[in-house]
Amino acid sequence: MSEQTQPRLAVRNLTTVFHTRAGRFVAVDDISFDVYPGECLGIVGESGSGKSVAALSIMGLVDYPGQIEAGRIEYAGTDLRTLSENQLRRVRGEEIGIIFQDPQTSLNPLFTVGTQLVDVVRAHRKISKSEAAALAIEKMKLVGISAPESRMKSYPWELSGGQRQRIAIAMALLLGPKLIIADEPTTALDVSIQAQIVDLLISLKNELDFSLIFVSHDLGVIQNVANRVMVMYAGRMMETGEVGSLFRDPYHPYTAALLASAPTLRTNRSEPLQAIDGRLPSPGKLPPGCVFAPRCQYVQEDCRVRQPLLESIGDAGRRVACIHPLIALPDEVHV
Amino acid sequence: MRKVILRRLLQNIVLVVVIVLVVFILMRLTAGDPARMKAPVFASDEILQSYREQFGTDRPLTAQLWDFVSGIPRGDFGTSFRYQQPVFELIWQRVPETALLAFTSLTLALLVAIVLGVAGARRPGSAIDRFGIAASTLGQSAPTFWVALMLVLIFSVHFRWFPAVGFTGWKSLVLPSIAVALAVFPADLRVLRSSMIDTFHQEHIRTARAFGISNRRITWLYAFRNAALPLITVVGIDLGYLLGGTIVAEVVFNYPGVGQLAIDSVNARDYPLIQAITILTAMVFVFVNLGIDVLYMVLDPRIRIEA
Ligand SMILES: Nc1ncnc2c1ncn2[C@@H]1O[C@H](COP(=O)(O)OP(=O)(O)OP(=O)(O)O)[C@@H](O)[C@H]1O
Ligand SMILES: [Mg+2]
């Protein structure tokens, strides 16, 4: 990758809030990241940390009472937030594809797989039904569905979980988008199928050269899929960097805690799994300083008052939002 | 699927038979002698007795029941006490008017319910949504006879736009249809609105949006198809209100339909007429509900395949 490469997606200062009866909740708080052509960005974080809201915000799919309050979402140089609903409609599916968590609920139970796929094609292309069906069948073959012609006539609930998710992936691929967002695409599936789906996504990405945003709880999967990772906590970005170095040397105590609690990552099996004590703060009652301070085992006094900013530290591309990162900085070495 | 429909049909036929028997017995148990209704007020016992012989009401109940039941396969539902005509003919003449009124009322009710229900569900709490809810509350609380009288007062008596009584063409349909529709649409609207709101929150709708399907298509195809299922069930239940409302409207507007005939027949203790109208009404219920079951299967493949 040359340094001149432009990011396909550049998100700047994205802030998404929910206005509920209990008040204003910031679900995504001032996050910025880039996704380059052909790369996979992993987003990790505990449940409720804002991963899905961030993913939906990119496509302008956050519903009332949620609202994108600030930020820019630049796709191929255009800020998607400035587009009209109709312009945005053309980007969805055509430029950016999305794969949701649970294909059982994310496909319409009253329409056949074929109807739904054909409808997506025809929402963007003025072609006949049979041409659209041919395209759908082609993509179904691509995702490894056997006898795609007869599967076209099946209803989603007639298929197995793995088959359904393959259909959902075929839908995302239909119009050849250059960016695909996968929001926990394996969480709802049988453990035995999860690896197949992950492998499928990796091989499709290599073959078709789209960019991928892969949201997951599972750090083991992220390690296999992603080039870079973004760690989120309570709507904020805690740390980001190349996947290898970040997993090897986490600078943020939250990243470290997350890695220590991940069963699929353990290299040293003699060390016990460490669950992170405490819970995510509720979005209405964020602590004043670092949001992770109440649960951090390295917490110091200033962490509770001063909010850390995301700063570049150490190796290329690594940014950490921590006042006392887990790295021996030159001035601290002498203390 | 065919088996299910056949079973449903058999169940319903049994139901119709039971209803008819209950009506047959109840009428003869309640006070009121058809002969007295027909004869002059101070008629002598002989005159009354001759009427009873003519009507057959002097014979034992079992014999009357046999007469009635054995006639049905031949299409003979008896002769009206009051009109001295075969009841089948009497009813048949009036079915078109009532069917027309019921049809226009239901169409109007559904139209209003769909327009206001879908618009309201798209923006809950908006002006149009609040209007829909207010209108349905009004429709539910205003009795049909009162609404009918008000419509006559305003649009027939004051403005003279529509005839107040009788049947003289499409204009005669307008006011009765509005009166009946006003009683029927609130349940439709509420059910459609809430099922539409539920559907809009389902994940497959978000998927459709995420893939650039237009809002109009999402609303009227993807969401409406899901939300229409509960609506269809309510339409089946509506039928009761529809027929009840039709009777009231027919009486107020002196509209020459089966509803009026039903009221007349009850007042005259015209047993054969009451029995025939009951059978007809029960059959309508059976067939409409059967139609609804079929429609359900057509719209929801999950039911179709289970069946
Ligand atoms: N419709 C909504 N109304 C109010 N708050 C919401 C809504 N949707 C999401 N949130 C809030 O936004 C925050 C982030 O939620 P989000 O779904 O993005 O988490 P997540 O990281 O994807 O979690 P998970 O791993 O469970 O999917 C949560 O605190 C949640 O309460
Ligand atoms: Mg999520």
pLDDT over threshold 60, residue B75:
yes
How confident is the model over A97-121, as a mean pLDDT?
96
Instruction: List the beta bridge partners of residue A123.
Output: none
Residues 6 or more apart whose CB falls under 8 angstroms from that of B281 comprise B243
Supply the pLDDT for residue A333.
Answer: 47
Tokens in use for A107?
């496909």
Side chain identity, residue B107: T
How would residue A3 be classed by pLDDT, with cut points 50, 70 and 90? low
- How many residues belong to chain B? 307
- Torsion, CA B94, CA B98, CA B100, CA B104, rounded to 10: 170
Supply the pLDDT for residue A267.
Answer: 55
Backbone angles phi, psi at B102, to 5 degrees: -65, -40
Q: Based on the structure, what is the number of domains in chain A?
A: 1
The domain ranges of chain B are: 2-74, 95-256
The verdict on residue A3 lying in a domain is: no
d(CA A239, CA A233): 9
Question: Is the Cα torsion angle A238, A240, A244, A250 positive or negative in sign?
Answer: negative
Q: Is the Cβ pair B214, A107 closer than 8 Å?
A: no
How would residue B35 be classed by pLDDT, with cut points 50, 70 and 90? confident
pLDDT over threshold 90, residue A335:
no
Mutate which of A19, A20, A25, A219 for ligand 1 pocket (most atoms within 8 A of beta carbon): A25
The verdict on residue A92 lying in a domain is: yes
- Torsion, CA B185, CA B186, CA B192, CA B196, rounded to 10: 130
Residue B211: closest CA among chain A residues belongs to which residue? Answer: A93
A322 within 8 A of A306, measured Cβ to Cβ: no
Question: Looking at this predicted complex, what is its ipTM?
Answer: 0.91
Q: Which of A263, A257, A264, A243 is nearest to A195 (CA)?
A: A264
The verdict on residue A234 lying in a domain is: yes
Domain limits at A141? 9-332
Calculate the alpha carbon distances from B11 to B1, B16, B191, B264, B287 in Å. Answer: 16, 9, 28, 31, 12
Helix B258-267 × helix B87-122 angle, to 10°: 120
Supply the pLDDT for residue A329.
Answer: 59
A276 within 8 A of A298, measured Cβ to Cβ: no
Supply the pLDDT for residue A301.
Answer: 92
Q: Is the Cβ pair B207, A100 closer than 8 Å?
A: yes
Supply the pLDDT for residue B68.
Answer: 85
| Shortest CA gap A331–chain B (Å) | 49
SS3 content of chain A, % helix, strand, coil (to 5): 35, 20, 40
End-to-end CA distance of chain B: 5
Side chain identity, residue A89: R
- How many residues belong to chain A? 335
pLDDT over threshold 90, residue B185:
yes
The verdict on residue A1 lying in a domain is: no
**Residue position matching structure tokens 């998710």:** A165
- Torsion, CA B77, CA B79, CA B80, CA B82, rounded to 10: -170
Supply the pLDDT for residue A271.
Answer: 58
Supply the pLDDT for residue A44.
Answer: 95
Using one digit for the tens of pLDDT, what is the confidence trace for A44-68?
Answer: 999 999 999 999 999 999 988 899 9
Mean pLDDT of chain A: 91
Residues 6 or more apart whose CB falls under 8 angstroms from that of A322 comprise A238, A239, A251, A252, A253, A290, A308
A241 within 8 A of A210, measured Cβ to Cβ: no
Q: Taking the complete model, does pTM exceed 0.90, yes or no?
A: no
Query: Between the ranges A140-154, A283-297, B60-74, B240-254, where is the mean pLDDT highest?
Result: A140-154
pLDDT over threshold 70, residue A19:
yes
* A54 Cα nearest atom in ligand 1: 18
Instruction: List the beta bridge partners of residue A74.
Output: A10, A79
Domain B95-256 in this protein, CATH class? mainly alpha
**Which of A115-119, A171-175, B51-55 shows the lowest per-residue confidence on average (mean pLDDT)?**
B51-55
Supply the pLDDT for residue A334.
Answer: 46
CATH of residue A204's domain is 3.40.50.300
Using one digit for the tens of pLDDT, what is the confidence trace for A189-228?
Answer: 988 899 999 999 999 999 999 999 999 988 999 999 999 9
d(CA A95, CA A89): 10
Half-sphere exposure of B50 (CA within 13 A, CB side): 6
d(CA A69, CA A18): 10
Supply the pLDDT for residue A74.
Answer: 97
Q: Does the beta carbon of A16 lie inside 6 Å of ligand 1?
A: no
Q: Is the Cβ pair A105, B204 closer than 8 Å?
A: yes
With pLDDT > 90 as the criterion, what percentage of chain B qualifies?
Answer: 39
Calculate the alpha carbon distances from A67 to A23, A25, A84, A152, B181 in Å. Answer: 13, 10, 16, 37, 40
Q: Is the Cβ pair A85, B300 closer than 8 Å?
A: no
Ligand 1 atom 6 nearest Cα: A18
Higher pLDDT, A315 or B171: B171
How confident is the model over B116-139, as a mean pLDDT?
95
Tokens in use for B14?
């049994």
